[in-house]
Amino acid sequence: MSDLLKDFSDPEVSPGERYERGLALKKAGLHKAAIDQFEMATVDLPLAVKAYAQIGLCYKLSDRYEEAITAFQKALKAAPASPKETVQILYVLGRTLESLGRVAETLEAYRWIRRENAAYRDVGERIERLSSRRPTVAAKKS
């Protein structure tokens, strides 16, 4: 583990190595250190999508949902992702938005997934459940 934590600023360490270190740190529960490694990996365009997605997952695991959403959005805007990667990122983005009660944005993500892959996970059920939700009124005064 000490090898993973030393030489963060070493320019000899490739973005690919940074990404791999980030995965190991994330697995060890060291989310902040993992995010640092993933951020350094984003300079490599082919890795940027995966690195931003991993940053989002680390933030989500740390209950920092707003930062997770931002990272997932960066992943979607980064170098072209495969359709499979895009669907996976949209799903975790949707789940994160859903956990914050942001129904309209969640539905937008899930509906995009359904257009790409109608049978993906539980997206159909989630869309149905969220679509049938009535807007909540803070306090009815009748």
Q: Is residue 142 part of a domain?
A: no
Residue 9, pLDDT score: 60
**Both 5 and 72 in a single domain?**
yes
pLDDT at 95 over 80: yes
CA of residue 93 relative to chain centroid, distance: 6
**Both 70 and 104 in a single domain?**
no
Residue 142, pLDDT score: 37
Residue 140, pLDDT score: 39
Residue 79, pLDDT score: 75
Its domain, for residue 116, covers: 82-134
Name residue, tokens 């509906």: 111
How would residue 11 be classed by pLDDT, with cut points 50, 70 and 90? confident
Tell me the mean pLDDT in the region 49-71: 98
Q: Mind spelling out the 3-state secondary structure of 77-126?
A: HCCCCCHHHHHHHHHHHHHHHHHCCCHHHHHHHHHHHHHHCCCCCCHHHH
Residue 101, pLDDT score: 96
Q: Is residue 140 part of a domain?
A: no
**Both 88 and 38 in a single domain?**
no
Domain boundary among 29, 49, 76: 76
Domain boundary among 37, 60, 76: 76
Query: Number of structural domains, the chain?
Result: 2
Q: Is 69 helix (H, G, I), strand (E, B) or coil?
A: helix
Tell me the mean pLDDT in the region 56-61: 98
User: Can you give the pTM of this predicted structure?
Assistant: 0.85
**Both 29 and 71 in a single domain?**
yes
